Structure 1
Amino acid sequence: MTESAITNSKPDLLPEGLEDRLPREAAAVTRVMHAVQGVMHRHGYDRVLPPMVEFDETLGARMAGIRSRRMFRFVDPQSLRMLILRGDHTPQIGRIAASRLAAAPRPLRLCYAGQVMLIRGDGLDPAREKLQCGAEVIGSDSVAAASEIVAMAIEALTAAGAIAVSVDFTLPDLVDILAAQALPLPADAIERVRRELDTKDAGGLVDAGGAAYVPLLYATGDFDVAIERLAQFDTHGVLAARIAALREIAARLGGQARLTLDPSERHGFEYQSWFGFTIYAQGVRGILGRGGTYRIAGATGGEAATGFSLFPDALIDVLADAEPLEDRVFLPLGHDADAAARLRAAGARTVAALTEADSAAALGCSQVLRGDSPVAI
């Protein structure tokens, strides 16, 4: 079969990893975005709206670890420079903070919401277009900033409808700290040790020259238990400050979520510095978001920042079936236009008949405008 025949046989087929959101799902998307953005707004975060497309070198230069090769890239027909379709808002927020808002007082609190696009999905998640909502504290990577960010991520997801939220802490620079002081590693072995820690392979860790790192595989799980094991492992005291910081963040959260610890986890934390976290919720498949501390690249060596990104599509899938159907008022031909306008001003939804054949039942309405008042069917 020719390519033309394949295309014409399924003219409405969407590319892999892309989907339509029909009315009930779209309503859930709108409600979730409103709930998440509302929490951030009430905490003093100002929303920004960066463009979908930027210059490739601009986006990638603001943050170490940005994998631009996973993003759609193409040549701008006007400038003939390489453009990139946004795959993550975070470097865009970094660009805005370092340029347009460079003179704004710090800490600078910004938030965002919008779609991102990747060339391929992650692991078992084939989605290539995703909704991303998040917030950044620019100018601080302190324990206080990290605590505020984690607490706000939990609050935002709870407001959106997530239940039994759990948070997994990690220390993205753990191997670097240990390899530099307490447990030296050859430069060419560091990445192999990181990889084996990520895969939780004790045998592979030994083969990579990281036998001394094997106890880290057991410093995982429930936060209170795992942090004690990590403290016992840290016989040289090089992790003391990190351990104290994790304990303080956990204490500040005050039981808002179940906490776990996986100190050596690196997947998804390519540009985080000393602290990272992953967030989940009961009944929702996969990861709902990530966050942590990082540095925004700049001429003066970079600026500290702390933030999180939520990807609530899986939560929306769970919530969409329970999304309540809104009442709608049917407006028959010849209805009182002023009465209908007053209903809409009061927040009602109206659906006007276009022909005599239209009916309230066919158009999914629960009420009909009779005179100047709606009447239940």
Structure 2
Amino acid sequence: MSARRAEFLPDGVEELLPEAAWLAEELRRRLLDCYRERGYGLILTPLVEHLDSLLVGAGEDLEDQTFRFVDPVSGRMLGLRADMTPQAARIAATRFAGDEAVRLCYLGSVLRTHPDTPGGARAPRQAGCELFGDASLNADLEIIDLMAQTLSLAGVRQPLLDLGHMGIYQDLVAETGLRPADEQVLFDILQRKCEPELADWLRAAALPEATRDALAQLVSLHGPPEKVLPAARAALPSTPAVGAALDALDAVTMALADRGANLHVDLSELRGYRYQTGLSFAAFGADSARELARGGRYDGIGDVFGAPRPATGFSADINELLASA
């Protein structure tokens, strides 16, 4: 960014000039046409809401990314949306509570106090789809297909699809009895995949030996699914939750491999783990280490509104997609 631009725009906030803006608008139209053809209803959500409605359910993980201020009219605390998924969840729970399955799509700007990744955007133009009321793997595959189609419409070729499952880590941590602060340290180490630091932490932790061994293995369980998933069955405890998670990954990776997807499995990748409950996924460009899209399952969403139901979805940043095409 030039010194002149830096006078006007905060870090992580970009503007689009005519050529790029027209490309973004053309992509927006193609995406919405695609989502409509697949049966997803478009919602236009407000830029600002009462803070407590933005930070319930899926939104709790966004608390430190949300700008907040006091409403001069009501005196209540308001928040600027940092992600549109919680808004879609609220709408599904309160406006479509009687529907068996609800498919919603959205596209609009969000604002975050800090980027998700170093050098990332703080004001993405977020596009996404959410499917509520279907707990099946077919629903997850439908969302992954839509994510892949989104990348294809943006001109992204041969993306790498990274898959994980929150149930494995959640089951292992449930057996530890760790205090939240200690569990956060473990979580941070796993996200950095620092094996020496993990080994030191595990030696100092008062954990059952089987749990300690499983956590030590978890950080190395990443790579092609045909290698990682058999290794995980051998290395991890054969609990019902771990078995169900690995069964789901087996089924999804086989289905996606039949469709020619470029797949990678990472069992210690915990993006969105504070609210996701099952399969998680992200797409990367062939020449970029930055996520182009992400998603996963977050069952139970809507419970705070009296309408709990399974859910799965994805989102992507239009500006990031165009820059990577």
TM range (shorter): 0.7 to 0.9
- 1:4 is matched with none
Distance 1:231 1:96, change over 3 A: same
1: CA distance, partners of 2:5 / 2:221: 52
Q: Deviation per CA, 1:112-153: give whole Å up to 9, x if none.
A: 001110112233224211111000011123211111111111
Distance 1:208 1:318, change over 3 A: closer
2:225 counterpart (223, 226, 236):
223
Contact 2:189-2:198 at 8 Å conserved across structures: yes
1:314-329 alignment, distance < 5 Å:
314-319=320-325
Contact 1:40-1:156 at 8 Å conserved across structures: no
Q: TM-score, structure 2 length as denominator?
A: 0.87
- 1:358 is matched with none
SS of the residue 1:218 aligns to:
coil
1 or 2 for the larger relative contact order (CA 8 Å, sep ≥6)? 2
1:108-127 alignment, distance < 5 Å:
108-127=102-121
SS of the residue 2:141 aligns to:
helix
Contact 1:154-1:256 at 8 Å conserved across structures: no
Structure 2 gaps, min length 5: 203-211
- 1:307 is matched with 313
Q: Percent identity, aligned pairs only?
A: 30
CA root-mean-square deviation: 2.2
Find out whether 1:207 has 2:209 as its counterpart. no
Contact 1:17-1:128 at 8 Å conserved across structures: yes
SS of the residue 1:144 aligns to:
helix
1:196-275 alignment, distance < 5 Å:
196-209=189-202, 210-238=212-240, 239-253=242-256, 254-275=258-279
Structure 1 gaps, min length 5: 1-8, 320-377
Find out whether 1:139 has 2:133 as its counterpart. yes
Distance 1:93 1:10, change over 3 A: closer
Matched AA of 1:185? T
Contact 1:136-1:308 at 8 Å conserved across structures: yes
1: CA distance, partners of 2:21 / 2:152: 19
Matched AA of 2:62? R
- 2:206 is matched with none
1:1-377 alignment, distance < 5 Å:
13-63=8-58, 65-103=60-98, 105-180=99-174, 184-188=175-179, 189-209=182-202, 210-238=212-240, 239-253=242-256, 254-284=258-288, 286-294=290-298, 295-296=300-301, 297-300=303-306, 302-319=308-325
Q: Deviation per CA, 1:75-129: give whole Å up to 9, x if none.
A: 11111111101110000001101112222x2211110001110112233224211
2: CA distance, partners of 1:17 / 1:226: 36
1: CA distance, partners of 2:5 / 2:259: 52
Q: Deviation per CA, 1:177-225: give whole Å up to 9, x if none.
A: 1244xxx323224433332222212222233333442122222011221
Distance 1:81 1:249, change over 3 A: same
1: CA distance, partners of 2:189 / 2:33: 41
Instruction: Name the one with the larger helix percent.
Output: 2
SS of the residue 1:67 aligns to:
helix
SS of the residue 2:286 aligns to:
coil
